[in-house]
Chain A
Amino acid sequence: MTAVPANLVLVLLIGVLFGTGVYLLLERSLSRVLVGVTLIGNGANLLLLVAGGAAGGPPLVGSGPEDEMADPLPQALVLTAIVITLGLSAFLLAMAFRSWQLHGHDEVQDDLEDRRIARRVARGLLAPNELDDIGASLAQDAAEARDETEHSDQRNDLDDTFVSPGLFPHRLPGPQHRSPLTSSDEEERR
């Protein structure tokens, strides 16, 4: 005998708990959502027990015949679920409180950034010029690509004037260098 008939009363109760829980879950008020979560949690716990089999004696060795005991495994699963629900509730409540601190209510607002993206896509405003992958031709890029060598520093960084003549006497009469059209920093700012 492996399959057992389902307990109709509990089955219906599970339906009620899930139904009411889902209704509340789809609300916007966080505390209502939380009530919904606890209802669903209770329903899920019952579902585990029902799936595990019929009611029976407490699973304590020596308290009764073993074949009349309730299945201990779903009980262990449900026990952890109950405590997890406590942690979850506390966290959601802290979120509700924080939301109240910030906005004066605990409602879950729509994510404005998501909306903004959708709107900009609709208007075709997500232009590629905001992306890295547009811009100058190969030759233009090449003209601006400079390595940080001894002399490029003297050319590019006005702040970097700490090259003592004692250390590099032969390098000081620097050649008249072409200054780069735009430095990379300026390009970034652009």
Chain B
Amino acid sequence: MLPLVTLQLVVALLAPAAIRSWGRRTFVALAAAPAAALVWALAQASAVFGGGEMPIERIAWASTIGLNLDFRLDALSWLMVVIVSGIGVLVLLYCSAYFSADSSNLGRFGGVFVAFVGAMLGLVTADNTLLLFVFWELTTVFSYLLIGHYFDRKASRRAAMQAIIVTTLGGLAMLLGLVMLATAAGTYSLSGLLSAPPTGPEVEVAVVLVLLGAVTKSALVPFHFWLPAAMAAPTPVSAYLHAAAMVKAGVYLVARFAPGFSDLTAWRWPVLVLGSATMLVGGYRSLRQHDLKLLLAFGTVSQLGLMIVLVGFGSRAVALGGLALVAAHAMFKASLFLVVGVIDDAAGTRDLRELSHLARRLPYAATAAALATASMVGLVPFAGYVAKEAALEGLWHDGDAVGVAIFVVVVIGSVLTLAYGLRFWWGAFGNKPASAGVQQLNPERPGLLLLGPPGVLALGGLAVGLAPAGLERVLAPHADLYPHGEAGHLVLWAGLGAPAVGTLVVLLGGAALFAARHRVERVQASAPAVPDADLAYRRSMRRLDAAAAAITGATQRGSLPAYLAVILTVTVAFAVSTTAVGGIGSPSVRLWDTPVQLVLALFVAVAAILAVRARRRLKAVLLAGAVGYGIAALFVVQGAPDLALTQVLVETVTLVVFVLVLRRLPAYFSNRPLAGSRWWRAALGLVVGIVVSGLAILAPAARIHVPISVDFPDQAYTYGHGKNIVNVTLVDIRAWDTMGEIAVILVAATGVASLVFLRTRMRAIDRVRDLTPETAAAVWAGGPDPTAVLRRGRPGGAEPGPGRNREWLTGGASLAPHRRSVIFEVATRLVFHTMLAFALFLLFAGHNAPGGGFAAGLVAGIALTVRYLAGGRYELGEAVPVHPGLLLGTGLFLSVGAGLVPLAFGGAMLQSALIEIDGGPLGTIKLVTALFFDIGVFLVVLGLVLDVLRTLGGEVDRQGEVEGRAVPDVAYDSPIVTVDDAEPTIELPAQAGEVRP
């Protein structure tokens, strides 16, 4: 059974492409998938009905939660498989002719439809309650997609949404009920649960919850409204949905659970009351519909109520009639919907007030519809008659008051059925007096693929009705599982008795109701409006939306400070309340480790407070940098040389990046004169500071176990082959963290680039060879050169001789002359390679001494920063002529790759190994494989710095040049308002011509 379900899903995946290439005829090929299931089921018939072992499949899946791929094919499942796959085949064949060749989204439709078949097959064969639920929800999702097939129509979307909300509501309740049942029974196996049904009050609750699933799925009152609305789906979907799938899942569930639970009060009353009400409501409303599909849809609602009552009643004879009705209904309802599709296609309308004289124009369709209608209303000798007769007989035979009451309800329901059945056929094919609405139609003959499926189904109803013994043989094994009553029989003539009287009443009453159809319509129209479930649903949805809008309006104020304040307040409240509840233990403090800490802490604290008070951006940034350097010094005292090293490097890079951006931003923070806001912010800051301080006192005292890191020195040396424990922790012990972190860095670098480059950062890298006379000496020009006069007559144009007069930095040629500094360029040239060598040293030594990939990457990044500051973006391009993305990607690839290699040698991911190489005169070289991981880290960090330089440095420069907007001189950042301040005063430099001689 799993292979069959898988087959459907695989075909479903292939369907879209196939339909796109071969068109709508592909549906014929798609029908092979359910056909395979049908053939398989027929082949299994001897095993299922032979009295031997049922076909079973058991595959462990998520056994710890009891979810296993268990399947079992018993008589009920067999019946459902035949219905689901047989009607699936016919509907798919019908589809191949029904849709126009260029229908929209036909590929998706085909795929979803076959997947829907697969989900239904899984649902009816699953022998695990959780698996049943999985398929249950899958049918919900697929039916949602099918109902909403025309997603560009409002009505379609609404119907689909309604269906999924209603059925998912029931599905969730059902899941809860199934879990409760499994807990009570001690097994998730469906057959195990039903062979020894648990009892107790919680079982009653669970049964109600499971029934809620069936009630919503099968569109019983008060959830019946979603099914008529679902007629927005294409007609073949409606046929399948109403006859074989989805709503039949609810009936299946009731039939499945009834043998075990139908004695419970919590089962009996909901099933009987809701089923009876649904039967009457559906039939009553059907009498008034003018749209043929709607008429049939309300008819289905009525029939569903009848089926649920019969299979849920709990006695064998009634159940036999109910199961026969399931089979009969599958055939006649599918047939009728398909005929409506033929009419709709041929006549262009489904409104029975406009259709006339179609019996002569569409004789085959009319015949098929007549046969199917006869089965639906229960005429001799059709399947529907046999089923209803057996049910009436069983109900009457049981003789108790409930049985008789249901008998009466079924008779009334059947009267309605006969009336709307006749009205359907008359409406579709009958001759109507010529009046305004009626159209003279002259449709052409539909083809075999359109008429065949409904014809086969209609004849099937007749065949089964003529030979009821065969059907009884299929249904009896399941009906016999029911606890009460004698076994019933399916016969064409049961003799004179109450059922025969009932049938007579049905025939007379139904005919009378049909004869008075116009009056019935008028009466219904003038009847006082009853509470409409559909309306109630819509209202509650609207209320939900309104509530959501109100909550959004009340909580989403759109102010970042407000959000942050809420978050911080909650944090404080949480910390304080948990401490108050949990006690504070026995914290103790000491003054300091060494007095140096006091000095450094004072320095940092003062810098932090000054940074808060600073009004100039640059001042605030420099003070924040001072805080960082102070913290680095504290790290040294704390015994963390790696941290100190990294902190100093990061602080340096951060400062540079800050200044690069500050070139553009106004020199001063804008004034925020609201003193009140300042006070509450200060108060919140004070509270947070105090609370965090308290946490800092409590946290060390809260430790009750020996630190996990107590073994790190040993492990680092033995397994990580390194002496620097922090570095080994990063690249080995907790390498997963590091891998996640460099991924974050990669994302951050990409984000920076995308914010500034806006379109693509793969713009060509600016190289010195690209310089033209126009672009040379233009970077950082910043207006006219005030010292140009001093440079007049400089022999800049002369070509230097070979090996002589060469530039210290080639990129310097791109800078505006007054921006160049000989000392800086020479110094850069001298230290750059030294810095790179130092970076490599840190990288390789980092495993045993302070250093490592992070520090090395930062040092190399600072070396690049120096090149950029000395020679501009062209110089940077010369230094690293590749895109930063390459470095980032290679780095992450190396780290992940290096982590994966041990898997090939049977190790764990990210495991380290020691490789010793005999280096000859160099001695033995010990190579730890974690080094490759660290090289990856190095490249990612270097890539981040390079990306930032290229973006916030080079690209910002370039954009400024393109816009003709000069970069203001940060060094001369004066309190005078400049063009780049928040509200620029147009005061362009006017001294341009004055310097020129």
Complex Cα distance A174/B235, Å?
22
A interface SS class? helix
Collect the chain A residues with CB atoms within 8 Å of residue B294's CB: 138-139, 142
- Known pairs A85-B650, A147-B344, A150-B100; A118 contacts B553 (CB<8 A): yes
Complex Cα distance A15/B586, Å?
20
Q: Is the CB of B589 within 8 A of A6?
A: yes
Complex Cα distance A107/B756, Å?
17
Q: Is the CB of B713 within 8 A of A7?
A: no
- Known pairs A6-B589, A8-B591, A50-B699; A122 contacts B624 (CB<8 A): no
- Known pairs A7-B592, A20-B609, A35-B621; A86 contacts B730 (CB<8 A): no
Q: Is the CB of A76 within 8 A of B734?
A: yes
Q: Is the CB of A147 within 8 A of B234?
A: yes
Collect the chain B residues with CB atoms within 8 Å of residue A142's CB: 231, 291, 293-294, 350
Contact for A60 among B157, B228, B723, CB less than 8 A = B723
- CB contacts under 8 Å to B, within A64-83, are 66, 69-73, 75-80, 82-83
How close is B863's CB to chain A, nearest CB, in angstroms? 16
- Known pairs A70-B640, A188-B154; A3 contacts B723 (CB<8 A): no
Q: Is A158 located at the chain interface by the 8 A CB criterion?
A: no
Stretch from B73-81, B424-432, B745-753, B797-805 forming part of the interface with A: B745-753
Chain B interface residue count, CB cutoff 8 Å, equals 177
Q: Is the CB of A75 within 8 A of B642?
A: yes
- Known pairs A55-B637, A61-B725; A27 contacts B608 (CB<8 A): no
Q: Is B870 located at the chain interface by the 8 A CB criterion?
A: no
Complex Cα distance A105/B155, Å?
47
Q: Is the CB of B751 within 8 A of A94?
A: yes
How close is B153's CB to chain A, nearest CB, in angstroms? 4
Collect the chain A residues with CB atoms within 8 Å of residue B155's CB: 135-136, 141, 144-145
Q: Is the CB of A6 within 8 A of B588?
A: yes
Stretch from B438-446, B489-497, B891-899 forming part of the interface with A: B438-446
Q: Is the CB of A3 within 8 A of B444?
A: no
How close is A22's CB to chain B, nearest CB, in angstroms? 4
How close is A128's CB to chain B, nearest CB, in angstroms? 4
- Known pairs A94-B952, A151-B345; A5 contacts B588 (CB<8 A): yes
Collect the chain A residues with CB atoms within 8 Å of residue B693's CB: 11-12, 14-15, 18
- B443, B755, B951: most-surrounded residue (chain A CB, <10 A): B755
Collect the chain B residues with CB atoms within 8 Å of residue A100's CB: 664-665
B interface SS class? helix
Q: Is the CB of B542 within 8 A of A134?
A: yes
- Known pairs A70-B638, A94-B751; A138 contacts B611 (CB<8 A): no
Complex Cα distance A78/B558, Å?
33
Q: Is the CB of B608 within 8 A of A20?
A: yes
How close is B78's CB to chain A, nearest CB, in angstroms? 33
- Known pairs A91-B751, A118-B557, A131-B542; A53 contacts B700 (CB<8 A): yes
Collect the chain A residues with CB atoms within 8 Å of residue B585's CB: 3
Collect the chain B residues with CB atoms within 8 Å of residue A25's CB: 564
Q: Is the CB of A57 within 8 A of B444?
A: no
Collect the chain B residues with CB atoms within 8 Å of residue A39's CB: 608, 611, 624, 627
Q: Is the CB of B597 within 8 A of A7?
A: yes
- Known pairs A42-B627, A139-B290; A149 contacts B589 (CB<8 A): no
How close is B739's CB to chain A, nearest CB, in angstroms? 11
- A72, A88, A104, A117: most-surrounded residue (chain B CB, <10 A): A72
Complex Cα distance A18/B694, Å?
12
Stretch from B112-120, B267-275, B504-512, B666-674 forming part of the interface with A: B666-674
Q: Is the CB of A149 within 8 A of B542?
A: no
Contact for A9 among B591, B624, B755, B944, CB less than 8 A = B591
- CB contacts under 8 Å to B, within A10-65, are 10-29, 31-32, 35, 38-39, 42-43, 45-47, 49-63
How close is B346's CB to chain A, nearest CB, in angstroms? 7
Complex Cα distance A85/B752, Å?
14
Collect the chain A residues with CB atoms within 8 Å of residue B350's CB: 142
- CB contacts under 8 Å to B, within A164-179, are 170-171, 175-178
- CB contacts under 8 Å to A, within B574-629, are 585-594, 597-598, 601, 604-605, 608-609, 611-612, 617, 620-621, 624, 627-628
How close is B237's CB to chain A, nearest CB, in angstroms? 9
Q: Is the CB of B708 within 8 A of A86?
A: no
Collect the chain A residues with CB atoms within 8 Å of residue B604's CB: 13, 16-17, 42
- Known pairs A3-B703, A86-B653, A139-B290; A155 contacts B726 (CB<8 A): no
Q: Is B992 located at the chain interface by the 8 A CB criterion?
A: no
Q: Is the CB of A11 within 8 A of B697?
A: yes
Number of A-B residue pairs, CB cutoff 8 Å, is 478
- Known pairs A10-B696, A35-B624, A138-B294; A117 contacts B556 (CB<8 A): yes
Q: Is the CB of A3 within 8 A of B700?
A: yes
- Known pairs A22-B685, A50-B699, A138-B228; A31 contacts B617 (CB<8 A): yes
As a 0/1 sequence over residues 456 to 482 of chain B, the CB contacts with chain A under 8 angstroms (1 = contact) are 000000000000000000000000000
- CB contacts under 8 Å to A, within B688-729, are 688-690, 692-693, 695-697, 699-709, 712-713, 716-717, 722-726, 729
- CB contacts under 8 Å to A, within B534-561, are 534, 538, 541-542, 545-546, 549-550, 552-554, 556-561
Collect the chain A residues with CB atoms within 8 Å of residue B123's CB: none
Collect the chain B residues with CB atoms within 8 Å of residue A78's CB: 640, 643
Which residue of chain A has the shortest Cβ distance to B150 in the bound complex? A184
Collect the chain B residues with CB atoms within 8 Å of residue A32's CB: 620, 669
Which residue of chain A has the shortest Cβ distance to B963 in the bound complex? A101
Collect the chain B residues with CB atoms within 8 Å of residue A13's CB: 601, 604-605, 634
Which residue of chain A has the shortest Cβ distance to B724 in the bound complex? A60
As a 0/1 sequence over residues 510 to 550 of chain B, the CB contacts with chain A under 8 angstroms (1 = contact) are 00000000000000000000000010001001100110011
Q: Is B351 located at the chain interface by the 8 A CB criterion?
A: yes
Q: Is the CB of A22 within 8 A of B665?
A: no
How close is A137's CB to chain B, nearest CB, in angstroms? 9
Q: Is B871 located at the chain interface by the 8 A CB criterion?
A: no
Collect the chain A residues with CB atoms within 8 Å of residue B696's CB: 6, 10-11, 14-15, 47, 50-51
Q: Is the CB of A5 within 8 A of B98?
A: no
Q: Is the CB of B235 within 8 A of A147?
A: yes
Q: Is the CB of A111 within 8 A of B558?
A: yes
Q: Is the CB of A148 within 8 A of B103?
A: yes
How close is B815's CB to chain A, nearest CB, in angstroms? 22
How close is A31's CB to chain B, nearest CB, in angstroms? 6
Contact for A75 among B229, B590, B703, B726, CB less than 8 A = B726
Q: Is the CB of A79 within 8 A of B617?
A: no
Q: Is the CB of A112 within 8 A of B100?
A: no
Q: Is the CB of B152 within 8 A of A188?
A: yes
Complex Cα distance A29/B354, Å?
69
Contact for B744 among A84, A111, A136, CB less than 8 A = A84
Stretch from B194-202, B379-387, B654-662, B817-825 forming part of the interface with A: B654-662
Collect the chain A residues with CB atoms within 8 Å of residue B666's CB: 105
As a 0/1 sequence over residues 94 to 135 of chain A, the CB contacts with chain B under 8 angstroms (1 = contact) are 111110100011111011111101111110001010011111
30 chain-A/chain-B pairs, Cβ below 8 angstroms: A3-B701, A4-B700, A6-B696, A7-B591, A8-B589, A9-B592, A11-B693, A15-B689, A16-B604, A18-B688, A20-B609, A27-B681, A35-B624, A51-B700, A58-B640, A58-B850, A60-B724, A60-B850, A76-B734, A83-B854, A93-B661, A94-B755, A100-B665, A108-B561, A128-B546, A134-B538, A134-B542, A148-B100, A170-B444, A184-B153
**Contacts A5-B701, A97-B661 given; 19 further ones with Cβ under 8 A?**
A6-B590, A14-B693, A18-B689, A20-B611, A38-B624, A52-B707, A60-B723, A61-B713, A71-B709, A72-B726, A72-B729, A83-B858, A90-B749, A94-B755, A105-B670, A106-B665, A145-B150, A175-B443, A188-B152
8 tightest A-B CB contacts, nearest first: A19-B689, A114-B558, A111-B558, A87-B748, A15-B693, A70-B639, A121-B553, A118-B553
